[in-house]
Structure formats: structure tokens, C-alpha cells
Chain A
């Protein structure tokens, strides 16, 4: 998969060098920061042998929460905390059903995806959250520093979780839970707690992603995030994390986000018609996972 990225980079360098202009790269970083943040959480969940297809709906709610909190007059740090907390709460819902009741995560999150989105639609009727205070956009820092803040926030979250996965017991517990839950018990890992924890983490990170997206604008769209789960899961899987749990790295996820995030803009730079984009995306995903399957077989 790293090869695929390199190939893409080389190809673009020849055909559309404009892609690598610093302005464009910076914009791509800012644009994909939220996807990266959510993908961190999804990696944890998939490592633990679960899945969450409701993050799109969680994302939508997160954005609305951020907007409403800001409108209520809270200072931005409180808005940020509130949004992340709301995300964590939604994640806890999923976690409780999966870890607590032992229900299969794909179906639980299918249910919560529909439930959350339709409830949000009913409550908001599609009306955007508008007339936000001036300090909302870019956290009140202005465009330049604001962009840096978004990129930094995503990279910090990435670094923190990447380090924790390796070096903190809780991180290793995730791998243990995903690969051998029965054995994990014997080494003192509580699979249920781990599973609950990863869903809460994903929820919180999705909330963060929603915040980082919302503050780039001056108002909040109330049905954002449609299709986010597919995008994020594809990035995680293309990045080498096994859907059967226990195997994968956050660095892989980073590369997956980069590859899939670059396709759209790359195609625009190459002058491809927009209506071929989805087909090419699907092809890239299939090629990446097929290549990985082959690679593993060889070993």
C-alpha cells in the first residue's frame, strides 16, 4: 500500500505538479484532518474486532452540538469539551449495547446510525445552526493560526494514540482483545471493558472531528457527515488493519487516509471527469486490499 502511494505521488509529479504546491498540500491536510481523527478511533474499534458504521450520524450530531453550545454563549474551550463529551456519550451508547449486552457491533451500529440520524433530522428539520458568535470560526484565532490549530490537533491526537497503542497497557489490551479475547482474559485484560473503551474513544474522536470541521465555517450544516463511515472504514482497511481484529497500525491508517483523501483532488488536477471518481475510488480500495491479501499469502 505504501507502494500505491509512491506510485500515485510519482504519477502526479509528472502529470500535475501543481498538486504539490504548498498551498494545496496545506489545504489537503486541513481538509482531511477530521477524517484522520475519526480514523484513529475506527482503527481502535476494528483492532478490537468490532466495527462502527454510525459515526456519520455521530458526526452530524457533534457539529450541531458545537454550534448550539457556541450560540448559548459558552467560550470555545467549553464548546470543544462539550462536543467531544457529546461524542463520547454517543460512543458509550454503542459501547454499552455491544460490550454490555453482547450484541454484534455491525448491527447495533446500523441501528444507532439510522436512529441518530433520523432523530436529528426530526429535531432540526434540516435547518442549519446559524448566527454563531464571531469567535466560532477558527476558534477565534483567524484563518492562518486556525488552520495550524486544526492540523496540529489532528497530528497530536494521532501521535498520542499511536504512542499509547504501543506503550500503554490499555493500548496493548486492544490488540489482545482483538486477536485472542479468550486468552486476553488470562493476562488480566477485560475484553468487555476494552470494547466499551474503544467505542467511547471513537465517539470522542468523532466529536473532535466534527468540531474541527465545524469551526472551519461560520455556521453548521445539520446533516453533515453522510457517508463518513464508509470513507473512514475504507481508509483503515486500506491502511492494513485486518477486519478480523488484532492486526494493524495507526501509521497504516495515516497512509490509508492520505491515499484515499488524495484521490479526489488528484483526479481534479488530472482533469478527469467528476463522474468517474467513485468508480476509481472503489477500484483503488479493491486493488489495495487484493494486494495486501496477496502479500500476506506469500508470507
Chain B
């Protein structure tokens, strides 16, 4: 009768010892900044991480990088909760769901944790600053400008998006529709197809699109796996009168930019984004960045403008055949 209890006690003691061995000793005055991408498995965020790690090494900051492994609307909240429990100096989140995350971010602020958003914003009162690489309006404007240029100002185009519920993409589509009504009356958006972040799906959808809507001359792929998927589909169809543009990563886009199927890819320097975010988080904690500042000195990025509560990385950058070799991610 007594043996099982003894066994349980033994197991528990063993667990405690194992835990104690694994525990890393806290290094006194080292700051901890916790950064979260929308999902860890996306190469876009992998490159942001590189930039953040660069800044962390420069500043002697401990960087915690974690987040959902899939785009899960609820998981981000749980991760931030865990960080609040653990106790970190600053939290920086690339927001998947604006309304959902704001509650837990506000909670973090009440606990004295500095809160930043980057890449995608939360509600204004939920964070101290937003590190913005480009506004949704700005992104929509550049995408449409390329589309219009390729088609000479008039014609039909289609969009291949991430998933139908993806918040960022839906925001861009909303602004695209607005701009179409006001600035581009001669452009027609024919259809929007989801890729669910799967390259093959983007390929299949584009293939079908080209046949169903032969008048479409531009495919706008606004998710990083969708760009090579759509480009490959256009290439394989032999339709040299159709071009692809969109938002994606340089490495996957390079071959298609080089052979002309892909006209242009809008992005920004994701490593710089990660770098800037970490630097800003550090400055916030130290007090060198505060509300009302008009500029921010961001290490190797020099001085950047601060617009209210948004730190601007710059404007969206367009990769073309000419400059795509400059970047590697």
C-alpha cells in the first residue's frame, strides 16, 4: 500500500531536481525583452528575429522570442499572459487580432511592463508605441500603383490573399477597394482567392483564375507563399501578357523577378524592423524614449521620425529585378 506513494514522492523529487538543474540563473541587471511574431514558422518573421537578435547582442539585452507556431487567433494572448506572469521588462507583439490582444496588453502595462507593437498594431491605448514599417493605406497605395502601372491605368486584376480571415490582408484589401473607387476608376478587381498560406494552393487558384477570367492582366499576391505560387502558375500557363505583383520575400521572389513574370515585390527591410523594435523596447524601458518624442536614435539605423505614437521605419520598399540581390531572406 505504501509503495505507490513512495514512488510518487520519488518522481516528484526527481522532477524538482531536474528543474533546478535546468534553471538558468538570472543575470542581475540584464533587461528582458519579449518579442512575439504572428507565427514562428513564417520566414518573414524569421528574418525579423535576426534583426532583433542583432540589436539584443549590441545592447546586452536578453531576448525572448516566442509565439504561436500556426496562425492561431487565441494563442497570442496566452503567450503574453505567460510573460506577464514570468515578469519581463518589455513586450513587443506583432498583432494577429487587434481587439483580442489589446486586453492582455493593457494588463501588461498596468503591471509596469513596457508594451510595443510592431508590424501590425493593437488598439492605441493598449501600447506605448507602435513600430510601423508601413501603414495599411501606404501598402495598398503602392500595390495599386504598381498594378496600374503594369496595365497602363486600366484593366482587370485579381487578388490572391492569405486566408479569408487574415486580418492584415483584409485591412489592405479594404484600402485597395477604397482607392479603386476614388483614384482608379478604370481598374477592376475581378476576384479574391485565398491561398491559406499554402504555395500550392496559390498556384492552383491562380491557374484557375487565368482560365476563368482571361481578361485579368495582373495577379496581386498579398501573402508571402502566394507570390511564388502565383508567379509559377502564370509562368507555366505561358501567358506572357499577365504579370504578378504583390507582397513577399526576396529569396522566394528572386527567380521570378529575374525572368520577368514577377514585376515587383513590395516589402520593407524585415531585419531592420526587428532591429528597430528591440532598440525601441530597450529605450522605452531605460526611459530614453518617451511619449512626445519627435525623433528616435536607433543605433545603426540612425535617427528616425516619430509620428505621435508611431515610430516609422520608412516607406514600403519595392524589390525589382534590379535590386533584389541586395537582400537575403
Contact = CB atoms under 8 A, between A and B. Distances in A.
Direct contact of A and B (CB under 8 A): yes
A121 B207 contact: no
A288 B43 CA distance: 40
Contacts of A24: 208, 211
Contacts, number: 78
Interface in A214-272: 216-219, 221-224, 226-227, 264-265, 268-269, 271
B43 A128 contact: yes
A226 B200 CA distance: 11
Given A121-B69, A125-B40, A224-B199, A219 B211 contact: no
B209 interface: yes
B43 A18 contact: no
A126 B40 contact: yes
Interface in A25-43: 27, 31
B167 interface: no
A118 interface: yes
Interface in B180-238: 191-194, 196, 198-200, 203-205, 207-209, 211-212, 225, 228, 232, 236
B194 A274 contact: yes
A221 B227 CA distance: 12
B188 to A, nearest CB: 14
B225 A221 contact: yes
Contacts of A268: 191, 193, 205, 208-209, 212
Contacts of B251: 128, 130
Contacts of A222: 41
B142 interface: no
A219 B252 contact: yes
A187 interface: no
B193 A274 contact: yes
A127 interface: yes
Given A126-B41, A126-B46, A217 B208 contact: no
B40 A226 contact: no
A23 interface: yes
Interface in B239-282: 251-252, 255
Given A213-B200, A274-B192, A121 B40 contact: yes
Nearest to B190: A271
B164 interface: yes
A143 B236 contact: yes
B207 A126 contact: no
A18 B207 contact: no
A269 B225 contact: no
A14 interface: no
A118 B69 contact: yes
B193 A23 contact: no
A21 interface: yes
A265 B208 CA distance: 6
B42 interface: yes
Given A125-B46, A268-B193, A224 B198 contact: yes
A27 B233 CA distance: 10
Nearest to A275: B164
A213 B198 CA distance: 12
A224 B212 contact: no
A221 B193 contact: no
A130 B252 contact: yes
Contacts of A264: 204, 208
B232 A126 contact: no
Interface in A268-282: 268-269, 271, 274-275
Nearest to B251: A130
Nearest to A18: B211
Contacts of B252: 128, 130, 219
Contacts of A18: 211-212
Contacts of B211: 18, 21, 23-24, 269
B232 A218 contact: yes
Contact of B41 (A27, A125, A227): A125
Interface in B3-48: 40-43, 45-46
Given A128-B252, A221-B225, A269 B43 contact: no
A218 B254 CA distance: 11
Contact of A226 (B192, B198, B207): B198
- Which of B164, B193, B199, B208 has the most A CB atoms < 10 Å from its CB? B208
A61 B69 CA distance: 16
B199 A221 contact: yes
Contacts of B46: 125-127
A134 B180 CA distance: 41
A219 B252 CA distance: 8
B199 A217 contact: yes
A101 B254 CA distance: 49
Contacts of B212: 18, 268-269, 271
A21 B209 CA distance: 14
Contacts of A143: 236
Contacts of B228: 217-219
A18 B209 CA distance: 12
A21 B204 CA distance: 16
A264 B196 CA distance: 14
A127 B329 CA distance: 9
11 contacts: A24-B208, A24-B211, A27-B208, A31-B204, A31-B207, A128-B252, A219-B228, A221-B200, A223-B41, A224-B198, A227-B196
Given A121-B69, A125-B43, 9 more contacts: A18-B212, A31-B204, A125-B40, A130-B251, A143-B236, A213-B200, A217-B228, A268-B205, A269-B208
Complex A-B, nearest 7 residue pairs according to Cβ-Cβ distance, in ascending order: A126-B41, A221-B199, A268-B208, A265-B208, A121-B41, A125-B46, A275-B164
